[in-house]
């Protein structure tokens, strides 16, 4: 599947970043009867900010935590809902052992996991983006302006493979680690970097970047390289849970509540 560029998404307010819709507004997914469900425990982690983290008051917080709560509210099963944080490597063993019903922690959907688990519909895609050093790029804020200039990528990553496949005329300069790539970008040793859009969006706004850089408009999504998007993983023996999660995600998308969560944790947008 080829990559495609999502133009900088806009809501009704031109200055307000928007979350691209992944659900057809005309689609209908019936809400199943969850009366037999004794509990819905979401398993997550604490080390994937802003998706899951411990806030300054010591509470489990993040996009995924609030999304789980919104799903339970939409399904009207708040009294049955729980959220538990575990180390990432313990998530699937805990699910397999019946210690939880679903994992909401940014696990990538792979054919191997598809064979063992069920997934909800994707609720967010993580795009690749270009960040440019405004001086080194000559003030040009588009991909065409990078012709003949070095673009940093992290060696051996899916983003490097995606960059080389879809921008073969641009000059890639591979770095052994993300930190080295971003340091070179800040110093102007490369005109731009191509990497995960979430990480780049937070980095360009950080004190570490020191105002050196900005994102080029446009977000690149490729199922071949970046997967299907973020989804909720659960056991295959719970088809009603799959339907319930999809019903809730569709409702949250249609009502704008999913977009509101996105803006809460990504106020500058990632697309």
Domain segments of the chain as ranges: 4-125+228-265, 128-217
List Cβ neighbours of 10 (8 Å cut-off, separation of 6 or more).
16, 17, 18
In DSSP terms, 54 is beta-bridged to: 60
Under the phi-then-psi rule, with left for phi > 0, alpha for psi from -120 to 50, and beta for the rest, what region is 256? Answer: left
Q: Is the pLDDT of residue 2 over 70?
A: no
pLDDT tens per residue, range 141-196: 789 899 999 999 999 999 999 999 999 999 999 999 999 999 999 999 999 999 99
Which architecture, in CATH terms, is 128-217? 3-Layer(aba) Sandwich (3.40)
Residue indicated by tokens 């191509």: 194
Residue scoring higher pLDDT (42 or 7)? 42
Alpha helices in the chain (DSSP H): 63-75, 91-96, 111-116, 158-166, 178-187, 197-204, 223-226, 239-255, 257-265
pLDDT tens per residue, range 79-132: 999 999 999 999 999 999 999 999 999 887 888 899 999 999 999 988 999 999
223 φ, ψ to 5°? Answer: -65, -35
pLDDT number for residue 16: 55
User: Which CATH fold topology does 4-125+228-265 show?
Assistant: D-Maltodextrin-Binding Protein; domain 2 (3.40.190)
Residue scoring higher pLDDT (7 or 127)? 127
Q: Lowest-pLDDT range, 23-32, 55-64, 71-80, 83-92?
A: 23-32
- Mapping DSSP to helix (H, G, I), strand (E, B) and coil, where does residue 172 land? strand
Give this prediction's pTM.
Answer: 0.84
Residue 67, token pair as written in the block: 């999304």
């Amino acid at each position: 599947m080829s990559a495609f560029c999502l133009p900088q998404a806009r809501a009704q307010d031109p200055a307000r970043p928007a979350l691209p819709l992944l659900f057809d507004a005309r689609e209908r997914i019936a809400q199943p009867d969850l009366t037999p469900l004794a509990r819905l425990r979401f398993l997550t982690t604490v080390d994937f900010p802003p998706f899951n983290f411990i806030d300054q008051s010591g509470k489990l917080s993040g996009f995924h935590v609030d999304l789980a709560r919104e799903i339970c509210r939409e399904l009207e099963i708040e009294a049955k809902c729980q959220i538990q944080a575990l180390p990432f490597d313990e998530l699937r063993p805990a699910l397999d052992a019946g210690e939880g019903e679903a994992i909401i922690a940014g696990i990538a959907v792979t054919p191997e996991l598809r064979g063992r688990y069920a997934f909800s519909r994707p609720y967010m895609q993580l795009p690749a983006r270009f960040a440019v050093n405004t001086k080194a790029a000559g003030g040009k804020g588009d991909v065409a302006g990078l012709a003949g200039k070095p673009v940093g990528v992290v060696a051996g990553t899916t983003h490097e493979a995606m960059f080389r496949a879809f921008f073969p005329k641009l000059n890639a300069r591979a770095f052994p680690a993300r930190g080295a790539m971003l340091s070179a970008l800040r110093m102007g040793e490369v005109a731009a970097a191509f990497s995960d859009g979430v990480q780049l969006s937070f980095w360009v706004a950080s004190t570490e970047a020191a105002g050196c850089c900005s994102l080029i408009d446009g977000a690149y999504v490729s199922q071949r390289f970046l997967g299907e998007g973020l989804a909720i993983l659960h056991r295959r023996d719970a088809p009603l849970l799959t339907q319930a999660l999809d019903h809730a995600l569709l409702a949250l998308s249609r009502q704008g509540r999913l977009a509101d969560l996105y803006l809460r944790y990504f106020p500058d947008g990632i697309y």
